[in-house]
Chain A
Amino acid sequence: MNPNLAEENLQTIRLLMERSALYRRALAPIMLLAGILGLLAAVIGLYFQVESSRAFAGLWLGTACVAVTSAFLLARRQALKDSEPFWSPPTCRVGQALLPPLLSGLFLGGLPAMLTNNWAADFIMALVWLLFYGCALHSAGFFMARGIKWFGWGFIAGAIVLLLSVQVTGYQGSPLSANWVMGFFFGGLHFAYGIYLYFTEPKNPAA
């Protein structure tokens, strides 16, 4: 056998193995936790009437930070339990796929809060976050279970429908409507998807 051919075969094998290794770690607990945190943030936003765009951005970005940190800890705990490296190739690829849309959404969504402190900006901010978060999930879905892509499409479709309805009807939202939108999508959808995964996911996933 030509040694170059042997090397090429090894490269192909490596490529195929990397492509087929999907991120499956702790998805159900992460989704459930994100859902609970989202619902909790919505309750806080509605109860304390968080209206000004800076307070709104602070509440939801704070919730996002807690959710990301908790997700990181949950995934790390499972990796330690299974004696696997935390930064496995699928984890790296999921991280790389999530980062650009999340950072873009963070910047573009946060822009209204920097420019104005009016509640009218909250609704648009929420829709921009939904849109970019959906794109992030869809990108990461190439390295995760197939359902994640559809989950991402749910956010994208929701954001587009709401953006179009704002455009067509001229509806600006009420002072608290952005909290409802965020609670429904980031709280309700994550929670529902977490429950679905809890009952359908294999019990011993590998990263």
Chain B
Amino acid sequence: MNPEPFLQLDRLIHEKGRLGIMSMLAASPELSFTELRTALGMTDGNLTTHIRTLQQEGYVSVAKSYQNNRPLTTCSLTPAGRKAFAGYINLLEQIVKQNKPK
């Protein structure tokens, strides 16, 4: 087995919680903090930490606004985040392909 694709996997995305956030944001233009929290079953603190990590890496952008006089935090993938996620998926597919019986 060629270990190369595995070594190239983006460690930042590979963590389970962050992978969930990236997967959900990849399929939607933007999602609110509440929607992410509900769908992924995370605590506020856990989700905030992961989002901050992804934000620091430039993968996720966070916007704060108001809706019906209530604060609304929405997250979306940046172009860099989208590219990194696509690269991560490609590598996973390579790993699966390598090990399929011929």
Q: Which residues of A contact B (CB under 8 A)?
A: 1, 3, 6-7, 9-10, 12-13, 16-22, 202, 204-206
Contact = CB atoms under 8 A, between A and B. Distances in A.
Contacts of B6: 1
A9 B26 contact: no
A6 B96 contact: yes
Contacts of B29: 202, 204-206
Interface of B: 1, 6, 9, 19-20, 23-31, 35, 39-40, 89, 92-93, 95-96, 98-99
B19 A13 contact: yes
A10 B27 contact: no
A18 B28 CA distance: 9
Contacts of B24: 16-17, 19-20
A3 B28 contact: no
12 contacts: A10-B92, A10-B96, A13-B19, A13-B92, A16-B27, A16-B39, A17-B24, A17-B27, A18-B27, A20-B31, A21-B27, A204-B29
Nearest to B1: A3
Contacts of B99: 3
A10 B14 CA distance: 11
Nearest to B91: A6
B95 A17 contact: no
A97 B9 CA distance: 38
A16 B23 contact: yes
Q: Which 3 A-B pairs have the closest CB atoms?
A: A3-B99, A17-B27, A20-B24
Contacts of A18: 27
Contact of B23 (A1, A7, A17, A202): A17
Contacts of A206: 28-29
Given A13-B89, A19-B24, A22-B28, 15 more contacts: A1-B9, A3-B96, A9-B19, A10-B89, A13-B19, A16-B20, A16-B24, A16-B39, A17-B24, A17-B26, A17-B27, A20-B31, A20-B35, A202-B29, A206-B28
Contact of A20 (B19, B28, B92): B28
